[in-house]
Structure 1
Amino acid sequence: MNLKGKKILLGVSGSIAAYKSALLLRLLVKAEAEVRVVMTQSATEFITPLTLSTLSKNPVLISFTKNETGEWNNHVELGLWADLVIIAPATAKTLSKCATGLCDDLLTAIYLSARCPVFFAPAMDVDMFKHPSTQDNIQKLIGYGNHFISPEHGELASGLIGDGRLAEPENIVKILDDHFGKRPVAAAKRVLITAGPTVEPIDPVRFISNRSSGKMGYAIAEAFAAAGAQITLISGPTHLKTSNPNIRIITIETASQMFHAAQDNFGANDLIIFAAAVADYTPRHVAEQKIKKQGDSMTLDLAKTTDIAGTLGATKKPGQLIIGFALETENELSHAQDKLARKNFDYIVLNSLNDPGAGFAHDTNKITVIDKDKNVRQFDLKSKDEVAQDILNIVIAKWSEA
């Protein structure tokens, strides 16, 4: 893991979710990070300093001085010591104090002194989290360059259901690990990815779609976000979710909506990856009411949808890279090479439905990557997360050459 040997300062503020800080601490230590814990006074009402000091193998710091000796807990040294500060849970009060520079305790003083990345993982009731003052403080802290790990949706201590649960410790550790795994060349890049199917309505009940799950596109988004890139993910209907704060999702349903979203964002990105399975045709007329069953047959009048990749590929600017996907069932290589040339791609990722475990719905994929110079690279059957890493490595190598 990338956390090995990293110096992590874990801040714990006063929330019922503070019990999860012990689980988070245990995972960080297991990843071989060196962890020091700083608690607010109110946090000690939810979990004991003894628990966290035992797990971290370091004294837990709470106040500016050590009461028994009067020795100073130097917030400046602590801020400079850390490779990363993570405040989890971060209460509405702690967010407010950090946003306004009010450092009336050791934790907030360390925050103001830190030169390393600072991550906030909020935990509070849903109405507190959604209150404009909390959201303003979050936006202010993001504007200062801090990172946020979004709270999760679920049942809260109040009994309400909504956003506000502290992110699970496993998810927090993954985000922190990904942070240290960032590739410098990717950190300044912006990436646009399309994923999932489109849904073309026939009437209010029926639609035309395909078997795409979106798993490949989402895996690519996570891989590039973990490398440090800023991601815009245009997603058709899917049950999938993302965990990385570097990923901004635009949800769409139809091919037309996907085209307009892609067109609006195309020019601002360094890399565009067309991984979505877009409908080639859509009903020319959508019935306003459910179509009743009549007769033995039914004819649909279909109109061709806009070729998103081809249309936008024709407008590619110098320095932009475009990767397309081709799912084929016959003459796979020749069809993929033709598509690569027609749509002005730099690379095309070919998968064949003739390969077991490849294509739609699977957690695995088997790809062949072809570039515009007709170089062909074949890969073994792998998980889609591993396939995403292979695609990332190809792009990183290309960016590094430039």
Structure 2
Amino acid sequence: MRIVLGVGGGIAAYKVASLLRLFTEAGHDVTVIPTEASTRFVGTATWEALSGNPASNSVFDDVHQVNHVRLGHEADLIVIAPATADLLAKAATGQAGDLLTNTLLMARGPVLFAPAMHTEMWQHPATQANVETLRSRGSAVLEPASGRLTGADSGPGRLPEPDAIFDAAMALVEGQADFQLPLAGRTVTISAGGTREPLDPVRFLGNRSSGKQGVALAVAARNAGATVRLLAAHMDVPPPSGVEVVPVETALQLREAALAAAADSDVVIMSAAVADFRPAAVSDTKIKKRDDRDDPVITLVRNPDILHELVELRNSAAPGGRQQLIVGFAAETGDSDGDVLAHARAKLQRKGCDLLVVNHVGTDKVFGQDTNSVVILARSGSEPQEASGTKTEVSAAVISRIGHELNSVSPRP
């Protein structure tokens, strides 16, 4: 695949060298077009060495090849990173003062902008209007990451991590002209992994959750343009880059983190395996096994119903209508009282969440596996939706459904 990689004049330009490496190692032919300002941060020699192609932003270099027309026409994908406020403005207003802006005007394939700038610049009405203009014309504009900026400030405006941009670019190409970022501008909180309830300093009550499905959901939401916050209980896999990670251990810690995170979230996805019970008392010392003592008796107490509490909190804050989408996960087994879906439908009614993603669990099913098969139930009563395959594929289906639910009820702000 032929890729044009435009590099804007921001300090985050140094990260783009890693993005270029990801493209070339995947076998793509990359032509880098650095703006003049960006060469103050990373010189053209770096781009030429890593890409194996000349790097220039002048329309007067190699005039016989008519690069200001050819590059845009031939590119299968154009990626702009970092997309500064200046570059977004020039692209939105159709300026053509250098090779990069000419190439954007000539583009006939997908275009992806990865913004990076100070928070106030990103949030300025002029920048937001430019972003809306570009999206309305079919370009994909990622949401910047949140975190530490160049100085002491923190906030939205960081360049997304290179692998996040790479994943979004590949998804854009796979989707071609139909690709959209359904969660652009949204904040999504996702819980993942299994909680652990301590018995003593050594032992705990836990479950078999690996966190793989929650991490896959975080990646899918990130690639859909969302700002993602991952509430990470015990996981067997590392969290993805480009998301905010809040570590938790117990159900009570998860409850505290979830209630705090929900305050500014458009979507809350509770995919973590939360312990229903916890020991009523936790020993300060290891519980010893001794022949001269009776077997210990462990009294359990119920943990709070975090999902139901989130729904009640949402409903009390917005009594006139839904302002937040809440998604639950249910790991179910059938029994003499009903099959998996019967139990899941009853749970959906009790919890009151908008969507419930149902797993049929058991020995060698779901937990720790790389594949999954789910049914998505909706409180609205719409037909159940099935999704199966790898956990990445299942996550894509869940995030796509969430995007549809959000955008069919309330337009993206």
TM-score (norm 1): 0.68
Amino acid at match of 2:327: I
Within the alignment, does 1:174 sit opposite 2:178 as a pair?
A: no
Within the alignment, does 1:345 sit opposite 2:381 as a pair?
A: no
2:277–2:302: 8 Å Cα contact kept in structure 1?
Answer: yes
Q: Deviations over 1:336-384 (max 9, x none)?
A: 0111001111121111126x86421111111111112434435353100
The number of residues matched between the two structures is 331
Residues 1:388 and 1:120: Cα distance change in structure 2 (over 3 Å): closer
Task: State how far apart, in whole Å, the 2-side matches of 1:344 and 1:86 are.
Answer: 37
DSSP-derived class of the 2:217 partner: helix
Within the alignment, does 1:289 sit opposite 2:293 as a pair?
A: no
Task: State how far apart, in whole Å, the 1-side matches of 2:154 and 2:260 are.
Answer: 28
Amino acid at match of 1:147: L
Residues 1:392 and 1:65: Cα distance change in structure 2 (over 3 Å): same
Report deviation, 1:27: 4.7
Residues 1:190 and 1:51: Cα distance change in structure 2 (over 3 Å): closer
| Aligned pair partner of 1:323 in 321, 327, 346 | 327
| Aligned pair partner of 1:314 in 309, 312, 321 | 312
Within the alignment, does 1:219 sit opposite 2:216 as a pair?
A: yes
DSSP-derived class of the 1:314 partner: helix
Gaps of 5+ in 1: 67-72, 88-94, 100-113, 122-133, 150-166
Task: State how far apart, in whole Å, the 1-side matches of 2:197 and 2:114 are.
Answer: 44
- Superposition CA RMSD, Å: 4.2
Amino acid at match of 2:329: F
Task: State how far apart, in whole Å, the 1-side matches of 2:144 and 2:263 are.
Answer: 32
Within the alignment, does 1:206 sit opposite 2:203 as a pair?
A: yes
Task: State how far apart, in whole Å, the 2-side matches of 1:176 and 1:283 are.
Answer: 47
| Aligned pair partner of 1:60 in 46, 55, 62 | 55
| Aligned pair partner of 1:366 in 359, 362, 373 | 373
2:199–2:279: 8 Å Cα contact kept in structure 1?
Answer: yes
Task: State how far apart, in whole Å, the 1-side matches of 2:221 and 2:280 are.
Answer: 37
DSSP-derived class of the 1:212 partner: coil
2:190–2:230: 8 Å Cα contact kept in structure 1?
Answer: yes
Task: State how far apart, in whole Å, the 1-side matches of 2:256 and 2:16 are.
Answer: 44
Report deviation, 1:303: 1.2
Task: State how far apart, in whole Å, the 2-side matches of 1:86 and 1:79 are.
Answer: 15
| Aligned pair partner of 1:186 in 166, 183, 208 | 183
Gaps of 5+ in 2: 62-67, 69-94, 105-110, 119-129, 135-140, 316-320
2:57–2:100: 8 Å Cα contact kept in structure 1?
Answer: no
Q: Percent identity?
A: 28
1:313–1:345: 8 Å Cα contact kept in structure 2?
Answer: yes
Report deviation, 1:139: 6.2
DSSP-derived class of the 2:326 partner: strand
Could you tell me which residue of structure 2 aligns to residue 162 of structure 1?
none
TM-score (norm 2): 0.66
Report deviation, 1:33: 6.2
Task: State how far apart, in whole Å, the 2-side matches of 1:250 and 1:348 are.
Answer: 23
